[in-house]
Amino acid sequence: MSIVFDARLPPTAAQTHVLIIGVGDYPHLLGGSKFDQQPAANSFGLSQLTSPPVSASAFANWLPMLANRRTPLGTVDLLLSPAVYTDGRGNSFVVDLPTMAQLKTAFKAWSQRSDANSANVAIFYYCGHGLEKEGTTILLPSDFGNPVEANISANMIDFDLTYNCNLLEASARTQLYLIDACRETPTQLLSLRTSPTALISTMKLQQLPRDAPVIKSTNSGLKAHGDPGKISFFTQALLECLQKMGARGQNGGRWEVATSSLGQAMKYFLQRMRRQGVPPLICDVGGRSNFDTTIHTLSGPAYVMSSIDCDPDSALAAAQFVIRNGAVSVDSRITPQPEPYDVDIPAGQYDIEVTFAVAQFVSKVCPQLMQPPFTPCTLEVDR
């Protein structure tokens, strides 16, 4: 275990326990430190990654800002490869490597911490190589492909079985799983006859109500994306939605992020992220959720993702937009474009002024309320 945050709350007090895994260095894959002496017999075309440790560390560094009065942040356990963690203050620490053995130990410990109180919130985050076979999401620890292990599947994680077992083992009613990994099926994987391994097992069978969504960074059969050495797109979406975009509503004047609103907000956020040469980004929400849970309260305003366009469509290509809050201009798009005007704006009431460079359409001002996470706005325009 490498606990990088510990609020030292009583173990049975309701709190949030987080397990973060970032796997970038795979020694037995191409480019790895042990590839020359101990190459993986079958690498499925995978090699080193640079984004996961950065992404995982970014999430770990944000977590002390998690604000949840009912279940404050209790612990953060972090495993990285390379096994060096730099915290928000620039201090570096050695943490545990996410080998299969270490992951089993860490997962079991995190599950047991979460089990101490059914009001606990348990958050699991993984960023690294992933695959999919027969509908099962497979995560790869850092020692994946170690030829010393005769059974290649012994170092492949069956995430779905792990998830289902932990819903039974850990009494924490709210369990959030964040998987930032590809979900492709290499053809060589289809010929694998052994099954991946769960991180935890159980003899329990009774299913209790759970809020346990699984948010994945891509759909079945697809890749996840990120710039080399930088926070992945999925983790960027996670952090932005936790900090600003993912609110569900207000409680006592403060905006709250819930498991339901987080997943939906991340979907819209990723859809709106456009990167040259990268396919449309997507986010898959699954799992089980018998109720909703507030996991974080924003310290400031909630932001709204909005997409502003015109009806008829032909007016959009000639439209100029100015968004005002009273007399103050908060955003604008003066150069007409054929695509909708995407804007991120604090929740509230605005006036949207649309003017046209051509005389074909009539300019107007439309009052508009903006509510998180996503409020589309179509301005009906007269000719």
Residues 189-228 that bind other proteins (CB under 8 A): 190, 198, 201-203, 205-209, 213, 219-223, 225-228
Residue 355 half-sphere exposure, CB side, CA atoms within 13 Å? 7
Q: Does 136 bind other proteins (CB under 8 A)?
A: yes
Alpha-carbon gap, residue 273 to 241, rounded angstroms: 13
Q: Which residue, 10 or 376, is less far from other proteins as judged by CB?
A: 376
Q: What is the closest distance, in whole angstroms, from the C-beta atom of residue 356 to other proteins in the complex?
A: 21
Stretch that binds other proteins, among 32-40, 65-73, 107-115, 371-379 (CB under 8 A): 371-379
Judged by CB under 8 A, does residue 377 bind other proteins?
yes
Smallest separation (angstroms) from other proteins to the CB of 25: 13
The number of residues that bind other proteins (CB under 8 A) is 74
* Token representation of residue 345: 């704006």
Name the DSSP letter for residue 242.
I
Nearest to 16 by CA among 115, 114, 125: 114
> Residue 292 interacts with other proteins (CB under 8 A)?
yes
Among 98, 130, 141, 287, binds other proteins (CB under 8 A): 287
Residue 284: helix, strand or coil by DSSP? Answer: strand
- The single-letter DSSP state of residue 153 is G
**Residue found under tokens 């490597």:** 97
Let me know how long the chain is: 383
Among 150, 277, 326, 327, binds other proteins (CB under 8 A): 277
Contact 5, 63 (CB under 8 A): yes
Binding flag, residue 325, other proteins (CB under 8 A) = no
Closer to other proteins at the Cβ: 320 or 368? 368
Alpha-carbon span 187 to 44, nearest angstrom: 8
CA distance 234 to 239: 9
Hey, what are 240's tokens? 């932005």
| Cβ atoms within 10 Å of 190's Cβ, excluding its own | 9
Q: Which is nearer to other proteins, 155 or 260 (CB)?
A: 260
The one-letter amino acid at 351: D
Pick from 2, 15, 43, 51 the residue near other proteins by CB under 8 A: 51
DSSP calls for 324-376: EETTEEEEEE-S--SS-EEEEEESEEEEEEEEESSTTS--EEEEEEE-SSEEE
| 10, 11, 88, 229: residue in contact with other proteins (rule CB under 8 A) | 229
* Least distance CB 68 / other proteins (angstroms): 19
For residues 49 and 224, the answer to whether their CB atoms sit within 8 Å is: no
Q: Is 122 in the site for other proteins (CB under 8 A)?
A: no
Of 133, 173, 244, 296, the residue at the interface with other proteins (CB under 8 A) is 133
Binding mask 327-366 for other proteins (x = CB under 8 A): --------------------xxx----------------x
- Classified as helix, coil or strand, 197 is strand
* CB of 134 vs other proteins, minimal distance in Å: 4
Which CB atom, from 63 or from 138, has the smaller least distance to other proteins? 138
Judged by CB under 8 A, which stretch of 139-147, 235-243, 320-328, 373-381 contacts other proteins?
A: 373-381
Question: Among all chains, which residue has been given the structure tokens 């898959």?
Answer: 284
Residue 102 CB, shortest distance to other proteins, in Å, is 21
Work out which of 7, 41, 93, 134 binds other proteins, going by CB under 8 A. Answer: 134
Binder of other proteins out of 19, 161, 170, 181 (CB under 8 A): 161
Collapsing DSSP to helix, strand or coil, 277 comes out as coil
Interface with other proteins (CB under 8 A), residue from 38, 42, 50, 320? 50
Q: Minimum Å distance from CB 70 to other proteins?
A: 19
Question: Residue 215 and residue 123: Cα distance in Å, rounded?
Answer: 11
Per CB under 8 A, contacts with other proteins among 165-194 are 165, 168, 184-185, 187, 190
Smallest separation, CB 75 to other proteins (Å): 27
Phi, psi of 205 (to 5 degrees): -130, -20
Answer whether the bond into residue 213 is a cis peptide, omega within 30°. Answer: no
Binds other proteins by CB under 8 A, chosen from 27, 98, 145, 263? 263
By CB under 8 A, is residue 48 in contact with other proteins? Answer: yes
Using CA atoms, how far apart are residues 263 and 186, in angstroms rounded to an integer?
28
